[in-house]
Amino acid sequence: MTQPDMSFENAARAEGFLRIAGVDEVGRGPLAGPVMAAAVMLDPVRVPLGLNDSKVLCETRRSALVTELEGCAQIGLGTASVAEIDSHNILRASHIAMLRAVAALPEPPDFLLIDGNLLPRGLTLPARAVVKGDSRSVSIAAASIVAKIRRDYIMRDLAQHFPGYGWETNAGYPTKSHKAALTSLGVTPHHRRSFKPVHNILYQAKNPTP
């Protein structure tokens, strides 16, 4: 399995950039909850060991790495709400969250490494899009871990107010039990109405079969 390294960061430094932030988002696929982005600017001499795509790490390891990152890196967080997801689309909302995360960094970066194949509209900084960046760049990997931990926390909190959907374990993703709960319990204010399973349930409620 490919391990992320400093290749992209080193290439940017070779071009004269000093403050390089990795940017990633979490939460494009769920039926509920916001999309969360993180921007992480690592100290090149204090890079935590074991940074990788958040999806290949267990929760315990992710939490430990976030604690370590909070002590040695600069972190910015940004979200896009369910209303923004439904108003725009999930890709545009993800990019909005990324721009907010970059703006929330304690110090402004001068170069961005962004996960994916597209750069957000409205970006004013030099940047590079990196496909599968969370498994190739340590800065993007760090951002993926921070975003995952923070979004999971939000979903666990929402689960306390809207029990029955399993958000504390499924984080709003369309598991079988989550979709069954949608049918039996109905749609909450935190569900993405533009997503097909939620849209279909709302449509059926308005247009019951005779």
Q: What is the DSSP string of 87-126?
A: HS-HHHHHHHHHHHHHHTSSS--SEEEEESS-PPTT--S-
**Residues 180-194: what's their mean pLDDT?**
94
Was 24 annotated as part of a binding site?
A: yes
Q: What confidence tens digit (pLDDT) does each residue in 120-156 have?
A: 998 999 999 999 999 999 999 999 999 999 999 999 9
Residue 1 buriedness (CB in 10 A; 0-12 / 13-18 / 19+): exposed
State the average pLDDT for the chain. Answer: 95
Was 107 annotated as part of a binding site?
A: no
Q: Are 120 and 24 in contact (CB under 8 A)?
A: no
Was 25 annotated as part of a binding site?
A: yes
Residue 210 predicted with pLDDT over 80: no
Split into its structural domains, the chain has a count of: 2
Domain with residue 29: its CATH number is 3.30.420.10
Residues 12 and 95 in one domain: yes
Write down the pTM of the prediction.
0.94
Residues 54 and 18 in one domain: yes
> Hey, is 5 helix, strand or coil?
strand
CB atoms within 10 A of CB 177: 13
Distance between CA atoms of residues 16 and 6, nearest Å = 15
Residues 101 and 198 in one domain: no
